[in-house]
Structure 1
Amino acid sequence: MENRNKVLIISMLSGFGHIRAGEALLDYAKENIKSLDAHHIDICDIDPELKRYAKIYEFLSKRFPILWDFSYKYLPVSLTKKIVSLGGSTKSGIIDYIDKEDPDTIIFTNVVIVPMFINILKKRFPKTVLAVLVTDYHAHPYYVFKDINRYFVGHEEVKEELVRLGVKQQRVIVSGIPINPRFYIKQSIPALKKKYETNNGFPVVLLIASFRLSVSKIVLLVRQILSFNPRVNLIFIANGNKRLSRIIERLFSKEKRLKIVLWTNKMEEYIKISDVVITKAGGLTVSECLAIKKPMIILNPIPGQEEHNASFVEKNGLGKWVKNSDEVVKVLPDLLGKDYTSNSIIKENPSETIFKELGL
């Protein structure tokens, strides 16, 4: 029987970005590296108790963002790692799963969980290569582990930050952040605009309603965009929020330039036809927009990593970071009609780079 290299990609749900990055790696491996035996898991599927970490993050970042900001900036890293490591001390089921898989390489797409397993992994799997994929455009001191063999980051700035924090330079690879391969497929924009009923000659603004705004402010923002001159089409993605979707549909039922989408698994098509994307600053969403060179308006990012992502976008001329929703229509004219196609700040095909650097 053929000996195949085994790769285990480990994610944990806390926001969808980590899962999407893991899926992107898996999709690339299955399509392009037939000699590789690759698996991707959300460890919460093995041990549902770990969902509490995701719930704590969601609770703090959305309900008490100031407290999350304080924790991110000022809580001692050694204390945080100790607390997380204790959470993994009883997770024998996950270790048993890894033992059964016996991977040659493990890639973590969520660095939060690394302290739970790093010590036992190095003892029980001393020959296994351990890698971390940083899914934001900033390096936090928490990311530094002496036993991680490779770090993969989205940009040279993140590599420089990790090196300053004490990671050896040769261990950090600027790969870009993996996104779904469908983003790289060339599609006919006129055909997509016809499919989504935005082929009326007006620019397309995509509003992904995943930020921390009240319903009344979101309604006002939709009204402001639809009243914007020159006219634009607005695609409103409610991110599964049925109540919000119904409210927007009821209030704007006569608007022919508004398309309401409750949920989609075709985000790449909506981004491709858009001229501007209004979103929060999750690392994967930012990477998806940058990959197909679409300017962003970053609205109300979560303190901590998302604010760093927003700063990265604005500093590199890839969009605007606005502090409140009233500013969106003020910066919209600066972004509409500009050509971003020559921007090459982001690496192409990060998944390919990652697997090549791992010798796979």
Structure 2
Amino acid sequence: MVKRNKKILIISVSTGSGHVRAANSILKTAREKHPHLHIDHIDMMDYVSKTMRKTIVESYNLMVKQLPELWSFFYKKTDGHKFSTHVRRLSKLFNRVNTGHFFEYIKNYKPDYIIVTHFLPIYAISQMKKKYGITVPISIVITDYHNHDLQIAPNISRYFVASKKMLQKLNLQGVPKKNIIVSGIPIDPVFYKPKSISRLKKIYNAPKNITNILVLSGGQGFADTNKIITTLFKSKNKLNIIAIAGNNIKLQQQLQRLKPPKKIDLKVIGWTDKIDDYMRISDIVITKPGGLTTTECIILKKPIIAISPIPGQEEYNAEYILENRLGVIARTPEDLLYYLYKGIPSQPNHIYKKLKKGNFTAAEKILNEVLK
């Protein structure tokens, strides 16, 4: 009898881009390293009612962009057993009437294993298990350098985390150590592939004797990139600035209308799948401290100037950057110019070695554990 290959389902939620990117990184790695594996990735928001999608995605985007203080209050209040319990109950009630297509997809796909990169699918699937008697093991990949109480749930097979500090916190919260794997945060395998920086600089016309600065607005263009660029225009030194606007077409057009002084060269890029190339040719990366972007910078050994952290998860990522001397936080335009003049602490090699330990990427470690 021929043994059937495992079927793995990866589920993300498109609140921000990090959860989706992490899921795609695992999918891409699986197809490279395990080509015969049956694996798929879905965004849960594509299989719920329009009302639920609008409520979750648009509310999140509104809070982190326009009402960060409200998001900070919600994040911190629910990062504790008392309030997170109420959110779980509301989530279950909401899922009961909004996730029929989601349940149908999972029933038809018949996965042997489920990996999620967001907590919401966990509560939906737990209801499905009770209703249909499904016993599929489920693991969660935490995509920041801090774990939230809502990410802890009964019957989770594995928690894949970014650091030993997170392992300790989860263990103190009652999760057995055997269920916690310090895998790191999964990023696109292209970041691990060797490339010639001198060749890339020629391709992208990046000067060798001038500081090359990469400015990332985030996948959804949440950072105040316009203000950052105009601040950089005040630099006394020559700069080559590459600004990535992401999916924000309005921002891209605004940046293209800027007129830099003669000593500044500005290149404006919209959405691109060549972020690793732009990072490799840069000397400094100015970015929001998302979990995946932070990890990408670490792997490519690029110093970070973190700006506009989303209250909650990105504040903890910024804390990780400072703790490990991976960069600095610029809270004002004056801070930005100060760090450009002063310089940024060099990245300690031990962090890079931890992430590369055993010559496996985070996505490979996750897949190897799941396929045991």
Q: From 268, 275, 278, give the equivalent of 1:270.
A: 278
Please tell me whether residue 300 in structure 1 is matched to residue 326 in structure 2: no
- Percent identity of paired positions between Structure 1 and Structure 2: 32
The equivalent of 2:112 in structure 1 is: 104
Counterpart code for 2:362: P
User: Aligned in 2, Cα 1:220/1:340: closer, same or farther, shift over 3 Å?
Assistant: same
RMSD: 2.1
TM-score by length of 1: 0.92
| Residue from 133, 142, 150 that aligns with 2:150 | 142
1:168 aligned partner: 176
- Are residue 89 (structure 1) and residue 96 (structure 2) matched? yes
Q: Which amino acid aligns with 1:51?
A: R
Report the secondary structure of 2:156's partner residue: coil
Paired residue for 2:362, among 330, 350, 357? 350
Superposition deviation, residue 125 in structure 1: 5.5
Residues in 2 aligned to 1:292 and 1:159: alpha-carbon distance in whole angstroms = 25
Which structure 2 residue ranges, 5 or more long, are not aligned?
none
Structure 1 residue 73 and structure 2 residue 76: aligned? Answer: yes
Where structure 1 has 5 or more consecutive residues not aligned to the other structure, the ranges are none
Q: Which amino acid aligns with 1:81?
A: R
Name the amino acid aligned to 1:179. I
| Paired residue secondary structure (1:142) | helix
Q: Distance in 2 between matches of 1:205 and 1:340?
A: 21
Q: Please, which of 235, 242, 250 is the counterpart of residue 249 of structure 2?
A: 242
- 1:47 deviates by 2.5
Name the aligned partner's letter for residue 89 of structure 1.
Answer: R
Instruction: Pick which of 108-117 and 349-358 moved more.
Output: 108-117
Number of residue pairs the alignment of both structures matches: 357
Q: 2 CA distance for matches of 1:138 and 1:353?
A: 19
Distance in 2 of aligned mates of 1:93 and 1:171: 30
**CA 1:312–1:358 in 2, change beyond 3 Å: closer, same or farther?**
same
Residues 277-313 of structure 1: per-residue CA shift (max 9 Å, x gap): 1111111111111121211111111101111111111
SS in structure 1 opposite 2:195?
Answer: coil
Q: Distance in 2 between matches of 1:273 and 1:196?
A: 8
1:176-214: CA deviation from partner (whole Å, max 9, x where unpaired): 111111111111101111111113421211111237555
Does the aligned pair in 2 maintain the 1:155–1:346 contact within 8 Å? no
| Aligned partner (choices 60, 83, 97) of residue 57 of structure 1 | 60
Aligned residue for 2:371? Answer: 359
CA deviation vs aligned residue, 1:310-350 (integer Å, no higher than 9, x gap): 11111111111222233111122444594655642652301
**Secondary structure of 1:201's partner?**
coil
> Which residue in the other structure is 1:17 paired with?
18
2:5 corresponding residue in structure 1: 4
1:206, 1:105 → 2: CA distance?
A: 38
